[in-house]
Structure 1
Amino acid sequence: MKVGLIGFGKTGKAVATAILDNNELCLEWVLRKRTLLEHRSVPEFLGIQSDEPGLIYSSLTTSMEELLDKHPVDAIIDFSSDQGIYTYGEIAAKRGITIISAVSHYGEQEREFLKELAKQTVVFWSPNITLGVNYLLIASKFLKKIAPWVDIQIVEEHFREKAGVSGTAIKIAKVLDLEESDINSVRAGGIEGRHEVIFGFPYQTVRLIHESISREAFGNGVIFVAQNLAGKEKGLYNFESLLLPYFYN
């Protein structure tokens, strides 16, 4: 499967590394806004031995139409910003290219736009694309269904500079019908990311914890999603729609 990656920050670089290490996905190109590193080879830049093209392009000098004409792909993976979808969404959908978005926050307008794109192609969105976090989400949902009266608290911990409440924690709260006030945020040092859901039963406590060790976990999540979207009908997918069949098979 040929893929293009949008966004080449710290997480984008980790995702590119995971893709280059995978035999089923081929990194055709990376698109970023800045012209720094333009036309450089991603494998060379990351120091990875690979025959994949993985050239870096800038959206300031290369249009999406031009990029897709020269280097067509089967899927576009988005780790940019909430506005990134507008730079490629319609073009990708018209060409039947699968869209995999791992953007943390989308407003109502962007979410509606994703629904419109999903009428033309396969669209996937998850504010956290790690497999572990999404397993935690489903497990938490099941436990809440079994004991709807249980006391629940969410704790999210991240590095000192991270602004705002974790998008993943907000997603967990939404799934469990909780308020944002039920989320406890901790900012300290260089914590990569930790989410804990605490279920307080009488005489016992259940804790579900996911801890990020490396940003490569996002890359592993992308690979899982890309593999499980293969052959899907056009429509809007999330992690739950991909994981639930594993629970019942």
Structure 2
Amino acid sequence: MTAADTAAVQIAVTGATGRMGQTVLETAAPRADVEVAVAVSRSSVEQVADVPVDDAGSLGGLLDAEPVDVLVDFTGPSSALEYASAAASAGVGVVTGTTGFDDAERTHLREMATQTPVLWATNFSRGVAALRRAVTAAVAAVPGYDVELTETHHNGKRDAPSGTATTLLEDIEAARPDLEERVHGRAGNAPREPGEIGVHARRAGDVTGEHEVLLAGNDEALSLAHSAGDRAVFAAGALDAAAWLAGREPGWYAFDDVLDGGAP
């Protein structure tokens, strides 16, 4: 029996004053299956969404003192690893949607899964999960078609292409091994060459997140796209993941495990 079977899952939220941290706190407030026990930030703020916010440097002590089941993180690569390490040391599960990890950082995060359950996803939208499956099926069904991926995010987005776009690219490459080169944008004399995937990252305004995969060939074009209207969709998915992860054995988990596994 998992923690979620008997009571609300107790969560810790990092980056509480950031865009996603605030949204996680706001989204958690009306839910019965999760409860915020700890919120931390590197900024000096007393509370967010009526939740007291402590200094991020005290996270380790708070996790030892409070009955926290799962840490929910949307920060940056270095801080996410620091927070995940504190959680692993305290035997607290980790759900993180942080993107931009390099190979060494991702390996480090995976190593923590030997101590505690870790669930990492580049996107916690159920619609994006459906898009990934649809793209994989479509790409496999039209071999030889050209593939272009375009993503759009708000002007403060740091990593480009986005983590979701990178995941989609990995899905496409797995379904089409002949596509071996990612071409980021085009300029000058740049006709398409065999084996290319075109990748285009746009940053503008306050766009939450848009992803489109274009497949074209044989006198036809197919477009598969997803648009997120509010960050709350990602927060809701992360909280679903936290409720599902509580009480699980140490290991490396994915959002697909939540979607395919049903209730905790």
Consecutive unaligned residues in structure 1, runs of 5 or more: 45-53
User: Aligned pair 1:235/2:251, yes or no?
Assistant: yes
- How far, CA to CA, are the matches of 2:209 and 2:152 in structure 1? 6
| Structure 2 partner of 1:43 | 49
Give the match's secondary structure for 1:66. Answer: helix
AA partner of residue 25 (structure 1) = V
CA RMSD of aligned residues (A): 2.2
AA partner of residue 166 (structure 2) = I
| Structure 2 partner of 1:176 | 172
| Structure 2 partner of 1:51 | none
- How far, CA to CA, are the matches of 1:5 and 1:161 in structure 2? 21
| Structure 2 partner of 1:73 | 68
Greater relative contact order, per chain length (Cα 8 Å cut-off, separation 6+): 2
Once the two structures are overlaid, the 10-residue window that deviates more, 166-175 or 102-111, is 166-175
| Structure 1 partner of 2:207 | 191
Once the two structures are overlaid, the 10-residue window that deviates more, 85-94 or 125-134, is 85-94
- How far, CA to CA, are the matches of 1:78 and 1:167 in structure 2? 15
| Structure 1 partner of 2:133 | 138
- TM-superposed CA distance for 1:99, in Å, is 0.4
CA contact (8 A) 2:12 2:70 kept: yes
Give the match's secondary structure for 1:77. Answer: strand
Distance change in 2, residues 1:187/1:112 (3 Å): closer
CA contact (8 A) 1:65 1:91 kept: yes
- TM-superposed CA distance for 1:6, in Å, is 0.5
- How far, CA to CA, are the matches of 2:215 and 2:257 in structure 1? 25
- How far, CA to CA, are the matches of 2:207 and 2:60 in structure 1? 39
Q: TM-score, normalised by structure 1?
A: 0.83
- How far, CA to CA, are the matches of 1:147 and 1:221 in structure 2? 31
- Cα offsets for 1:60-107 (capped at 9, x unmatched): 4x2x33211332300001111101234233332243311001101111
Distance change in 2, residues 1:175/1:120 (3 Å): same
CA contact (8 A) 1:28 1:55 kept: no
AA partner of residue 32 (structure 1) = S
Give the match's secondary structure for 2:215. Answer: strand
Give the counterpart of 1:209 among 219, 225, 231.
Answer: 225
User: Aligned pair 1:31/2:43, yes or no?
Assistant: no
- Cα offsets for 1:37-77 (capped at 9, x unmatched): 13x3x333xxxxxxxxx3201124x2x33211332300001
Consecutive unaligned residues in structure 2, runs of 5 or more: 1-8, 174-178, 184-197
What is the aligned-residue identity percentage?
Answer: 28
